[in-house]
Amino acid sequence: MTLDLAGDPVALTAALVDFPSVSGTEAPLADEVFRALEGLKQYEVTRDGDTVVARTNLGRPHRVVLAGHLDTVPIVDNVPSRRDGDLLYGCGTSDMKSGDAVLLHLAATIERPAHDLTLVLYDNEEVEAAKNGLLRVSRNHPDWLAADFAVLLEPTGGTVEGGCQGTLRAKVTTHGKRAHSARSWHGVNAIHAAAAILDTLTAYEAREVDIDGCVYREGLNAVAVSGGVAGNVIPDRCDVTVNFRFAPDRSEAQAEAHVREVFAGYDVEVTDSAPGALPGLSAPAAANFVSKLDAPVQAKLGWTDVARFASLGIPAVNFGPGDPNLAHQAGEYVDTRKITEAVEALRRYLVAD
């Protein structure tokens, strides 16, 4: 399938969705994106694994990154895409192949950008942070990402979303004593002991934090429970996996300390962690972006790679056509009118006066 970058961005979204690219299987789509971008004369196109980077070198005073991930969560009978009126259904329509389509279409149709542009289409965003393609590029080729400002086209419904929450996963473990289930009083049931962990989570009061007018609501939730030996054995271990979404005024270390405090007395093992990012909307580049788009601004409730750019000292915001509330759902869709609106809004910002 050949990708028509200069054509209808809605049709381009459908074409991207019809290329299955569950995390770890992005190579065929990355191949096509690479080939399509190589056909644009003003871009130098490079690649690291399944991450594709294209850069202009026009001598503009500022450089802007437009970034999006190519991967999706696992497909649930929702590929290929299908259209119903103004709605386009399919895995990744909102998160975030509509955003990818917007940035690719703009790359192909803006002849005189106001800024030098760097396009980054990367792999493995939907899995653990260690596999993230943007992280890999930041380590292997930090010069590829050097810029004055970055726009991550994650789903925001056309709103500018500042910063992002941090995320931490941990296993909270209870221990017991094995015994035959016919003589259960000789053992201690670790799964039963996990009830106290669940009670703690049920009673947990989430903190709300207002940072520069962006309100972040934290959350601490169980996302998995694992335990059991056999159908006739009292289990001696139970692991409750919890996910802590924390406001960007906490560091990763502070987030971990908070989780350990909440579960004092239990074994706690942090299995994955990524920092949040402050809104940064007072930075001149971000303020200029918000002014050009004339769009509402709110906090990003979720983790995105704006945190990655923030760690590199690059102001960044989230702005994309998808609906974040539809991400990862079997019935995921994007309103095609939002795709058109996002193209026009970003064109106002990117085209030289």
Count of Cβ atoms closer than 10 Å to residue 87 Cβ: 13
- AA identity, residue 34: F
Taking each helix axis from N to C end, the angle separating 98-109 and 9-17, rounded to the nearest 10 degrees, works out to 130
Q: Could you tell me which residues are beta bridge partners of residue 121?
A: 52, 68
> How are beta strands 160-162 and 51-55 bridged, if at all?
unpaired
Long-range contacts of the stretch 202-207 (C-beta < 8 A, 24+): 204/262, 207/247
**Residue 193 half-sphere exposure, CB side, CA atoms within 13 Å?**
21
**In which residue are the tokens 């726009």 written?**
151
50, 100, 116, 125: the active-site residue: 125
- Verify whether residue 71 is a known catalytic residue: yes
Q: How far apart are CA 20 and CA 43, in angstroms?
A: 26
Q: Give me the helices (H) in 146-302, please.
A: 190-193, 195-203, 252-262, 284-293
Q: How far apart are CA 98 and CA 96, in angstroms?
A: 5
**In which residue are the tokens 């056999």 written?**
230
71, 95, 123, 154: the active-site residue: 71
Q: How far apart are CA 185 and CA 131, in angstroms?
A: 45
- AA identity, residue 33: V
Q: Could you tell me which residues are beta bridge partners of residue 208?
A: 217
In angstroms, the Cα distances linking 108 to 26, 51, 116, 156, 235 are: 22, 19, 14, 23, 59
Count of Cβ atoms closer than 10 Å to residue 16 Cβ: 29
Q: How far apart are CA 35 and CA 45, in angstroms?
A: 9
- AA identity, residue 291: S
Residues labelled catalytic: 71, 125
